[in-house]
A and B are shown apart, each in its own frame.
Chain A
Amino acid sequence: MKGQIKDLIIPLFITLLILVVLEIISTALLPAFGIQKYIIPFNILIVLYLGFKLETPYLAILILIVQYFHSFFSIEGWELGTIAGIFICIVISYLRDLIHFSSAAITITVTQVFQVVWFLIVSSLFYLKTGNMGILVEKMWRFIPESIAISLLAPFFFAIFDRIWGVNSEGMLGGDV
């Protein structure tokens, strides 16, 4: 297990830069081309990557920082995604031995499965906050294409993040491979 904070700072900085660029594309460029109903949630992709591939005690803080930067581009705020992200990381920590990203198809499938978990957690919290079931039904219809887009992009972005975070294809950051 890698426990040094200084090892995390530079990859985190680069990851945040990538997040900012992707958020600008999804909030300014894609709507200008008429894609307004569906916004690709790149923050989910990054949080899932951190949960899948990083084994560090500071994971909760990393998720919080990613979500905080996401909140500059959305009134959604950082809170809901942070709770969902931490919960998913706890689930992943129990399933770690079963999850291997040996092929693009597996990466896509695993990402899709955990996005469903993310959707369930965020929707539950949203329902507790607003008490409106109608919003959730509509949210689900948007979630399906958005999550598929994220899952399809996952192998490509995971390969980039693997290089940034120094994770090799078989193991986790700091894991004994």
Chain B
Amino acid sequence: MRIGEGEGQKTKIILNVLVCAVALYGVSTKDFTQQRTSMFENLMIDFFAPIQKSVTYIQGSFTSVFDDYIANVNASKDNEKLKMRISDLGSQIFSFREMELENKRLKKLLDFGEELPYKKVLAQVVARDASSDFRVLRINKGLVDGLKLQATVVTGEGLVGFIYRLTDHFADVLTILDPNNRVDALVKRVRAHGIVEGDSDRQCLMKYVKRTDPIILNDRILTSGLGNLYPKGILIGKVSRIERESYGMTQDITILPSVNFGKLEEVIVLVAESNKKKDLEWDALDSNTEGKVK
């Protein structure tokens, strides 16, 4: 197909307007809580992500060869230190087990409510987002491994985020460092509620905490379980800065996440077992909302 000069200008204007209109519509309807992928996107992401995984693996292998053989100078000293550390950790585990049993007993005693059964899926971080505006991790587990959209992602240290985009074999995790991720949280010591939002590569902000709540530095922040996204009681981080003015209703709290996102390699995805009654309720709510919009 070949087109003339005048006709070309006309085509250019039409295409510019058309593509811009579609893009603007896309921006206005973009949802930062989840993104459903089309079949083509699913295929392409599943095609490219293994290459990202291989690149990460090759780099990791080089690093481990360097660390294990070339940089391994003080191995015997480290071995002694590690043995001592293991014995310390052993005693800690024993006390944690005791605490777990105590916790279970107390929960039962207080009739804390039914415990949601979660399936735990271990996943490896294979890549980061191609735009530094978003703090997103790509993991090597997807739909075929039983993952679901908006499933909670954690590590042993605490909360990482939730599944934002999902393909058959890979998933994108929107971390708590991303400003689009909002977590309903509470301060463990004083049970004060607030919303944790991503702020930068290192910290989060806790908003809407009442000025009168006596928050102090190093207070631990946990998920509150509200919002139906994150389970209750997962550690988010600790308070690193408090700004409390003499006026206003709230105080600004900065949180240092308990997870070291810079060195994150493996994560655990908590997948809630399907609750048919709950799903039906959500479907009914969704259809109701769509009906109102129409």
Contact = CB atoms under 8 A, between A and B. Distances in A.
Contacts of B53: 28
B126 interface: yes
B31 to A, nearest CB: 10
Interface in B257-273: 261-262
Interface residues on B, range: 35 or more
B20 interface: yes
A75 B128 contact: no
A24 interface: yes
* Central interface residue in B12, B138, B165, by most chain A CB within 10 Å: B12
Contact of A86 (B2, B16, B165, B262): B16
A120 B59 CA distance: 36
Interface string A31-74: 11110111101010000000000001111110110000111111
Interface of B: 1-5, 8-9, 11-12, 15-16, 18-20, 23-24, 26-28, 30, 35, 41, 44-45, 48, 51-53, 55-56, 59-60, 63, 126-134, 136, 138, 164-165, 172, 174, 179-180, 199-201, 261-262
Contacts of B16: 59-60, 86, 89-90
A5 interface: yes
A4 B8 CA distance: 10
14 contacts: A3-B4, A4-B2, A24-B55, A28-B51, A33-B59, A36-B261, A37-B132, A58-B12, A60-B12, A61-B15, A64-B23, A72-B48, A80-B27, A82-B23
Given A79-B27, A130-B180, A41 B12 contact: no
Interface string A90-124: 10000000000000000000000000000000000
Contact of B59 (A32, A43, A87, A130): A32
Contacts of A26: 130
A29 B55 contact: yes
A163 interface: no
B44 A72 contact: yes
Interface of A: 1, 3-5, 20, 23-29, 31-34, 36-39, 41, 43, 56-61, 63-64, 69-80, 82-83, 86-87, 89-90, 125-126, 129-130, 132, 134-135, 138-139, 142, 146
A86 B52 CA distance: 29
B19 A63 contact: yes
